[in-house]
Structure 1
Amino acid sequence: MSRAEKPAPASIRARFESKFPRGLIIRLIAYLFVGHLFAFFVYLLFVLGGQNQ
């Protein structure tokens, strides 16, 4: 079978979604975002607290 006769591979998104459900991806992004916001808040508390010494 020559290269021209092979079927086109599935799109990256289709392959990715076949491995991970869409809800899992959305939750992962949300948790990462919220986790980074929380880490920034804690960092901000330490920075502001350190300035008052």
Structure 2
Amino acid sequence: MSNLEEKFPRSLWIRLIIYIAVGHVFAAFLYLLFALGGKG
């Protein structure tokens, strides 16, 4: 695990986690929008 941590700095991991979280929230928002729009 230490070898992997040397290759990727902590700031890169934090940025990656933020990007993934924002992407999931955005995708959930779009899904909700289409789901509600489809019913209405």
Tell me how far apart the structure 2 counterparts of residues 30 and 38 of structure 1 sit (CA, whole Å): 12
> Which residue of 7, 24, 28 corresponds with 2:12?
24
Supply the distance in 2 between the matched residues of 1:46 and 1:33 (Cα, whole angstroms).
Answer: 20
Structure 1: which 4+ aligned runs deviate by more than 3 Å? none
Which structure would you say has the larger Rg?
1
- Give the paired residue count: 40
Task: Identify unmatched segments of 5+ residues in structure 1.
Answer: 1-11
Greater helix proportion = 2
Q: What is the RMSD of the two structures over their aligned residues, measured on CA atoms?
A: 0.6
Q: What fraction of aligned residue pairs are identical, expressed as a percent?
A: 60
Q: Residues 30-41 of structure 1 correspond to what in structure 2 (within 5 A)?
A: 30-41=18-29
Q: CA–CA distance in 1 between the matches of 2:4 and 2:36?
A: 42
